[in-house]
C-alpha cells in the first residue's frame, strides 16, 4: 500500500488565506507549518472517556471497499471530482481535506472528514468501533496506531494542533485507517479551523473496473493534473477466516466477513452477493443513512425484518445490533438462505425477497459478478 503525500509547500496563493469554507466556496487552503507543534495539555485520566451525547450522526450506514486513492497537493477541483464520479463503473467517491501540521518539529499528516461518510471506507475493526466514531463526531481526533506511538498519545488527554490556526482536541483513540500515510483524522469542523487544504485527496470505489482502466479513466478525468494515484484494492481476496486461522474465528477484513458469513450461515451463497448488498445504496439509491422505506445499517435491513432475522455473531456481545457488520452480514446470509439463496436457481428470488425491486436484483447480481472478476 502506498503512502499518502501532501507534505509539499503550501499553495502560494493561499498561504495567508483564512481558515474558512463557505457552503459552496472552493479554495485551496494551506496551513502554516513553521514553528508549530503538538504538545500535551493535561486532560482527563486515561481510560474510557465519555464524549458528547449518546446519540451520534456517525452511525454505520454501509460498507465500501476502496480501490484507488487520488492525491493532489493543491486540492482536487470540484470539476475533476464531478468527472471522476461520472466514470462508468465508479460506484462511490469520497473527498477529504488534508495537510501537514507540526508535531514536536515533525510534520503530521492530518485529514478532515465527515465521520459518517468516512467510517464506511475504513477497515472492518475500525468501522465497527462505535465509541471511536462517537468521539470523532463529538470533536475529538483519531490517530493511526503508528502515530499514537510516535506522538506518545494517551487516550482522553487533549493535544494542541497548529495549522493556519491552533486547535485543542481530545485524543479519541488509535485505529487502523486503511491507507498508510494518514497520521491523524479530524472532523470537517476541525479541518476548516485548522485550514487544511480543501479536497486534497479522494477515495474511489469501482469494483466493476480493472485497475488499469480505472487508473486510466481517473487520469483522464483529472485533465492533466499532477495528482498521484495509489492502488488500494488487493490483488486477490484474502483466505476465509476459520477457527484454525484466528483463535476467535473473528474475520479481520470485510471480504473475510462476507466469505465466512456465507460459509457458516448459507453454504452455497456466493460471498460476492453479500459484498454487493453491502455496497449498494438503499432503495432510493441515495443512502442518507435510513432509506425512504426505513432500512438501516450496513446491510440495509428494515427494523421489522431485523427483529425476525437479526442474530448476534462472531463473538459480539449483547442483543443483535443492526448497525454492527459482525451481526448484520451473517444475518443477511441467514435471511437470503431461508429465501433460497443457497442455489443458483433460487438466488434471484432470494435477492428479490431482500428488496422487492427488479432493478435491485439486477444490480446486486451485476455487482457480485464484478467483485468476482476483481478479486478472483
Domain boundaries of the chain, sorted by first residue: 12-231, 254-375
Residue 154 pLDDT grade (very low, low, confident, very high; cuts 50, 70, 90): very high
* Angstrom distance (rounded) from CA 219 to CA 15: 28
Burial (CB < 10 A; 0-12, 13-18, 19+), residue 136, is buried
* Angstrom distance (rounded) from CA 197 to CA 339: 49
Residue 58 pLDDT grade (very low, low, confident, very high; cuts 50, 70, 90): low
Q: How much is the average pLDDT of 104-129?
A: 88
Pairing of strands 158-162, 141-143: unpaired
User: To which residue does cell 496563493 refer?
Assistant: 13
Residue 248 pLDDT grade (very low, low, confident, very high; cuts 50, 70, 90): low
CB burial readout 298-334, b (16+ within 10 A) else e: bbbbbeebbeebbbbbbebeeebbbbbbbbbbbbbbb
Q: How much is the average pLDDT of 127-135?
A: 90
Q: Is the pLDDT reported for residue 26 higher than 50?
A: no
Please tell me which of 162-176, 313-327, 337-351 the model is most confident about, judged by mean pLDDT: 337-351
Q: How much is the average pLDDT of 172-193?
A: 90
Closest CA to 97 of 130, 127, 73: 73
Q: Is the pLDDT reported for residue 2 higher than 60?
A: no
* 297: CB partners within 8 A, 6+ apart: 60, 61, 306, 322, 323, 324, 328
* Angstrom distance (rounded) from CA 10 to CA 374: 38
284: left (phi over 0), alpha (psi -120 to 50) or beta: alpha
The pLDDT value given to residue 163: 87
Closest CA to 33 of 200, 165, 190: 165
Q: Is the pLDDT reported for residue 160 higher than 90?
A: no
Q: How much is the average pLDDT of 144-157?
A: 92
Q: Is the pLDDT reported for residue 40 higher than 80?
A: no
Class of domain 254-375: mainly alpha
The pLDDT value given to residue 3: 34
Which pTM value belongs to this model? 0.77
Please state, as a whole number, how many other Cβ atoms lie within 10 Å of the Cβ of residue 369. 16
Average per-residue pLDDT in the chain?
Answer: 79
Give backbone dihedrals phi and psi of 168, rounded to 5 degrees, phi first.
Answer: -100, 125
Q: Is the pLDDT reported for residue 297 higher than 50?
A: yes
The pLDDT value given to residue 281: 59
The pLDDT value given to residue 107: 84
Amino acid at each position: 500500500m502506498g503512502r499518502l503525500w501532501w507534505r509539499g509547500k503550501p499553495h502560494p496563493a493561499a498561504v495567508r488565506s483564512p481558515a474558512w469554507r463557505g457552503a459552496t466556496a472552493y479554495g485551496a487552503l494551506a496551513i502554516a507549518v513553521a514553528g508549530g507543534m503538538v504538545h500535551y495539555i493535561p486532560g482527563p485520566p486515561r481510560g474510557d472517556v465519555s464524549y458528547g451525547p449518546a446519540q451520534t450522526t456517525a452511525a454505520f450506514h454501509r460498507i465500501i471497499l476502496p480501490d484507488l486513492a487520488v492525491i493532489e497537493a493543491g486540492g482536487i477541483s470540484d470539476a475533476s471530482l464531478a468527472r471522476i464520479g461520472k466514470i462508468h463503473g465508479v460506484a462511490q467517491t469520497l473527498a477529504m481535506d488534508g495537510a501537514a501540521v507540526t508535531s514536536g518539529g515533525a510534520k503530521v499528516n492530518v485529514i478532515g472528514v465527515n465521520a459518517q461518510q468516512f467510517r464506511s471506507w475504513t477497515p472492518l475493526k475500525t468501522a465497527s468501533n462505535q465509541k471511536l466514531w462517537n468521539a470523532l463526531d463529538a470533536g475529538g481526533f483519531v490517530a493511526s496506531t503508528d502515530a499514537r506511538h510516535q506522538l506518545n498519545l494517551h487516550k482522553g488527554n487533549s493535544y494542541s494542533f497548529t495549522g493556519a490556526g491552533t486547535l485543542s482536541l481530545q485524543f479519541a483513540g488509535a485505529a487502523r485507517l486503511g491507507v498508510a500515510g494518514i497520521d491523524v483524522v479530524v472532523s470537517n469542523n476541525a479541518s476548516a479551523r485548522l485550514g487544511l487544504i480543501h479536497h486534497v485527496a479522494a477515495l474511489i470505489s469501482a469494483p466493476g473496473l480493472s485497475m488499469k482502466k480505472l487508473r486510466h479513466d481517473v487520469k483522464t478525468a483529472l485533465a492533466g493534473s499532477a495528482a498521484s494515484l495509489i492502488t488500494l484494492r488487493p490483488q486477490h481476496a484474502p483466505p476465509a477466516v476459520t477457527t484454525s486461522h484466528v483463535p476467535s474465528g473473528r474475520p479481520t477484513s470485510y471480504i473475510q466477513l462476507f466469505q465466512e458469513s456465507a460459509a457458516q450461515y448459507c453454504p452455497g451463497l456466493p460471498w460476492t452477493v453479500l459484498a454487493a448488498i453491502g455496497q449498494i445504496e438503499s432503495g432510493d439509491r441515495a443512502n442518507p443513512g435510513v432509506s425512504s422505506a426505513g432500512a438501516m445499517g450496513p446491510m440495509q435491513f428494515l427494523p421489522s425484518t431485523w427483529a425476525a432475522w437479526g442474530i448476534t455473531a462472531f463473538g459480539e456481545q449483547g442483543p443483535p445490533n443492526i448497525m454492527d457488520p459482525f451481526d448484520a452480514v451473517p444475518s443477511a446470509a441467514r435471511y437470503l438462505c431461508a429465501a433460497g439463496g443457497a442455489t443458483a436457481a433460487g438466488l434471484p428470488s432470494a435477492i428479490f425477497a431482500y428488496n422487492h425491486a427488479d432493478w435491485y436484483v439486477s444490480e446486486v447480481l451485476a455487482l457480485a459478478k464484478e467483485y468476482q472478476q476483481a478479486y478472483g
